[in-house]
Structure 1
Amino acid sequence: MTAGPVVVTDIARADAADVEALGRHGVATVHEAMGRTGLVGPAVRSIQTDRRVAGTAVTVLCAPGDNLMIHVAVEQCRSGDLLVVTTTSPSVDGAFGELFATALHARGVRGIVTTTGIRDTAELRALGFAAWSGAVFAQGTVKATPGSVNVPVVVAGALVRPGDVVVADDDGVVVVPRQRAAEVVAAADARVAKEEADRTAYADGALSLDRKGLRPLVDELGIRYMTQAEYDAGTA
């Protein structure tokens, strides 16, 4: 592993068909299908509603209060990517705004996930550029400190490697390792099929207690059924 600032230019990316399939499923389904792993922490939130994107990660590691490496990273982005930015120590300064979004939108980048702050939120929404951030904060940044592009980073508790699949929607952000993308697509497909069968059954009046076989567990845990009169009287 190379020490010090570095820009990796030839990352391997997840298969585009797998990225599209995971994007259709969305964050909650993908997270569950992957064994309830991969979630970015809830401090990183969407600045818009009713948006869902999936893309391959181009990762950026910046110094706090400094967006130099985002400028460097734009050149490494291509259509279908999603920019993922974090800092070497916590910072919510407004490192990303309209001009970055304009440049990335022109390159076919699908959005940004960042632990930093963003600004120009109205302009980003007007442009249709999807963004998930640690804050909305107008504080400006400098361009003075080296960092890295396309190295593994940790974003609000989630490990993101360059080329991984990042899915983001109103529920949050989830990261799928590139090597597991096809496996997770298959698991998500199976989960959706099962949920559709459940949905049909519930619409017909079935109870989840029965469909999921939970009644024996309720008994095992000592959960008791009683009338109101029994409860008020304190009887078993």
Structure 2
Amino acid sequence: MRTVVVTDPPRADAEDAAALGKYGVATVHEALGRVGYLGPQLRPAWPGARAGGTAVTVVCWPGDNLMIHVAVEQCRPGDVLVVTTTSPSTDGLFGELFATALAQRGVRGVVLDCGVRDVAELREMGFPAWSRAVSAQGSVKATPGAVNVPVVVGGQVVHPGDVVLGDDDGVAVVPRADVGRALAAAAARVEKEDATRAAFRDGELGLDRYGLRERLSGLGIEYVTQAEYEGGPR
């Protein structure tokens, strides 16, 4: 790994990122063909957190948050900080003081493939954070890493300037080149779901709405009475 800080990565449009954040992780993930989800291990530090922004990526060593301090200077309004470590770590590399510095710079949240702490303070601030763990374990500031290089989180590659969005369902990444397609696909999915929701409220069943009835016999599913069930083959 080169210990570098890339100062000028291209970014997706900040307002497009915010719009994707409003659609939410599940909607965007499904709309794009079930891609980009960073996995169930990343959970919000507090319920109701939601954000969509452009990625500033950070590579730290386990138990060492030096490069987060370096990355703060590279953050712009509309960014989301994405932190990973060179090997698995659950140490609390990020807390309320970092959040204060990032909020002052207009950063919309942080995604940590490691630990977070000061959860009560983050909730009070309203600063969105997603992490692999909650841990009071402290850190040192000693080892060089990298800022604004491609990183892998949850099996997904996150490039600087990609859109990262998070909510109660987790975190997803949308490549910068796919943002336009993601916005159109998410809007279409919301429209389709609105129509389905209205149909369900009117009493229509999913079996009919999704054309599932005709599949049942082919899958070997039988409808029987209780008497037939009790007297059937054992």
Task: Report percent identity of matched pairs.
Answer: 66
Who is 1:94 aligned against? 92
Deviations 1:116-137 (A, max 9, x none): 1111111111111111011111
Please list every run of 5 or more consecutive structure 2 residues that lacks an aligned counterpart in the other structure: none
CA distance in 1, matches of 2:110, 2:15: 20
2:49 to 48, 51, 75: 51
CA distance in 2, matches of 1:43, 1:12: 28
Following superposition of structure 1 onto structure 2, how do residues 195-234 of structure 1 map, counting pairs within 5 Å? 195-234=193-232
Task: Give, as a single letter, the amino acid of the residue that structure 2 aligns with 1:25.
Answer: Y
More displaced stretch, 41-50 vs 14-23: 14-23
CA distance in 2, matches of 1:17, 1:145: 35
Deviation at 1:139, TM superposition (A): 0.9
Task: Give, as a single letter, the amino acid of the residue that structure 1 aligns with 2:138.
Answer: G
More displaced stretch, 191-200 vs 3-12: 3-12
Following superposition of structure 1 onto structure 2, how do residues 153-164 of structure 1 map, counting pairs within 5 Å? 153-164=151-162
CA distance in 2, matches of 1:143, 1:129: 23
Following superposition of structure 1 onto structure 2, how do residues 111-190 of structure 1 map, counting pairs within 5 Å? 111-190=109-188
Secondary structure of the 2:157 match is strand
Who is 2:35 aligned against? 37
Please list every run of 5 or more consecutive structure 1 residues that lacks an aligned counterpart in the other structure: none
Deviations 1:31-86 (A, max 9, x none): 10111011112111111111211010000001111100000000000110000000
Following superposition of structure 1 onto structure 2, how do residues 19-30 of structure 1 map, counting pairs within 5 Å? 19-30=17-28
Deviation at 1:113, TM superposition (A): 0.4
CA distance in 2, matches of 1:20, 1:78: 14
Deviation at 1:177, TM superposition (A): 0.5
Deviation at 1:156, TM superposition (A): 2.1
Deviation at 1:235, TM superposition (A): 5.6
CA distance in 2, matches of 1:193, 1:171: 20
CA distance in 2, matches of 1:100, 1:21: 25
Secondary structure of the 1:201 match is helix
Following superposition of structure 1 onto structure 2, how do residues 71-82 of structure 1 map, counting pairs within 5 Å? 71-82=69-80
Task: Give, as a single letter, the amino acid of the residue that structure 2 aligns with 1:57.
Answer: A
Deviation at 1:16, TM superposition (A): 2.5
Is the alpha carbon distance of 1:102 and 1:17 closer, same or farther for their aligned partners in structure 2, counting shifts above 3 Å? closer
Deviation at 1:17, TM superposition (A): 3.1
Who is 2:191 aligned against? 193
CA distance in 2, matches of 1:20, 1:142: 33
Who is 2:108 aligned against? 110
Deviation at 1:147, TM superposition (A): 0.4
CA distance in 1, matches of 2:233, 2:214: 23
CA distance in 2, matches of 1:16, 1:91: 30
CA distance in 1, matches of 2:233, 2:90: 56
Secondary structure of the 2:33 match is coil
State the number of aligned residues.
234
